[in-house]
Amino acid sequence: MQVNMNTNYSNQQNFGMAMKSSDVVNKALRVRIKRPVDSQELSALVEQASKNDLVDIQLFADEKGKLTANVFTRDTSLDNPNSFVRHFSEGIFGGPVKFIRKIVNFADAEAAKINERCDIKELDDTLSKML
């Protein structure tokens, strides 16, 4: 999984990294994350996100530091029935770590669904060979 944390879109793609951020997003997180336990949880979420190779997350921050995210499949070709894009906005309660946890868990659940659908496709291929 790749998580992009950019408020100003740039063409600098660093594939293979779990989370990328812009100065604006980093600043918002530095200001809003005040407890060591939240910093440790964010680190664990970055590690969890790095293991997902099917679904990516792109984070944005507005001028007030509120986070939004797009969650999408890496393979976004039109003929891929598993492709999707979903937008999330941070609520007024919970904070940035809870928001990031929510989107990382959503991305992991979607990756599991994609893997499950791929397993079913392999079954269809096997059954078609039996005809």
What pTM was computed for the model? 0.74
Cα separation, 84 vs 79, in Å, equals: 12
The secondary structure element, H or E, covering residue 3 is: strand 3-5
CA quadruple 28, 30, 34, 39: dihedral sign: positive
Walking along the chain (131 residues) 10 residues at a time, the average pLDDT comes out as: 55 48 84 94 91 88 89 69 81 87 92 80 75 77
Residue 106's pLDDT is 92
For the stretch 83-116, pLDDT in tens is: 788 889 888 778 999 999 999 999 999 889 888 8
